[in-house]
Structures are given as structure tokens and as C-alpha cells.
A = this chain, B = another copy of it.
Amino acid sequence: MRLTVYLAGQIHDNWRQEIKNKSKDLPLDFVGPMEDHDRSDNIGEEILGEQPTPIYKDEAASKFNNLRTRILLEKSDVVIALFGEKYKQWNSAADAASAIALNKPLILIRSKELHHPLKELSEKAQVTVENVDQAIQSLSYIFES
């Protein structure tokens, strides 16, 4: 049995690569959003051509990003969402809540400092941990006998 893991959350450091490297011995397949930030912002204009204002540019881009997210989230068995110190990360929160609503168990990674603003989301997650290693332990536990 293999599990597919959707890696939601911020795309500003290499935490996804760290998870992949550290879990090489587990039967896991990883999917997630476009991690190239510029490409994620520009994909709407790249496909549809120039848009009249930055708001329309964002609207166009978000359609293609959400197309990707919907399809890959649907294919997943479990979702990991990592919140960092910077940026608003509302899309991370939305992806996390989408996962919950689709009945996909959510593993939330956040530093202790972020516990207050994330408290209701954390309560909805199946588990909340503080770092990548703990998230991997959570996944590893599923396969132990």
C-alpha cells in the first residue's frame, strides 16, 4: 500500500524537498502546488494572454492554480500543510480547510509561536506538529505493524 500526500502551504523555502528527502524509505508519493512562485503568479497571462489589470491577472492565474490543486488534492490520501512566519498564507488555510472538508486527514505543521492565530484550524486538523520530522513520524506510524 502506497499513500499519496498533498503538500499544501507556503512555497517560499524548500520544506517540501526536506520532507521528500527524509521520507525516502516510506511508500509515499508526493504532490502539491506549483512551487515556482513567479510561474504561479504568471500562469494566467502565460496561457490566456495579457490581462487588463493586476487583479484580473491574479484572477486568471488563480483559476489554473486551483485547477491543479483540485485534481491533485482529490488524488491524495492525506494532506500536510505548513505555515511559516511570513506572508498571509490565506491560500494555505483555504487548502487546509478544503482537505478537512473532503475528509482527507490534515497534518498541520506550525511553530509554537503561531499557535494562537492557528488555534481553530489546528483543532480541525487530525494532528498538529511543530516541524517536518514530526510530520514524517506521523506518516511512518501508519505503516508500522
Name A's B-contacting residues (CB within 8 A): 1, 3, 29, 31, 34-35, 39, 43, 46-48, 52-56, 58-59, 61-72, 74-75, 77-78, 83, 87-91, 93-98, 100-103, 105, 107, 112, 115-124, 126-127, 129-130, 134, 137-138, 141-142, 144-145
Contact = CB atoms under 8 A, between A and B. Distances in A.
Most B CB within 10 A of own CB, among A43, A46, A105, A123: A123
A56 B60 CA distance: 12
Given A48-B129, A67-B142, A94-B124, A102 B101 contact: yes
Nearest to A52: B52
Main secondary structure of the interface of A (DSSP, over half): helix
Contacts of A3: 71
Number of copies: 8
22 contacts: A43-B141, A47-B138, A48-B130, A55-B112, A59-B122, A62-B120, A64-B127, A66-B120, A66-B123, A67-B138, A69-B120, A70-B105, A74-B77, A75-B77, A91-B117, A91-B121, A93-B93, A94-B94, A96-B97, A97-B97, A97-B101, A98-B100
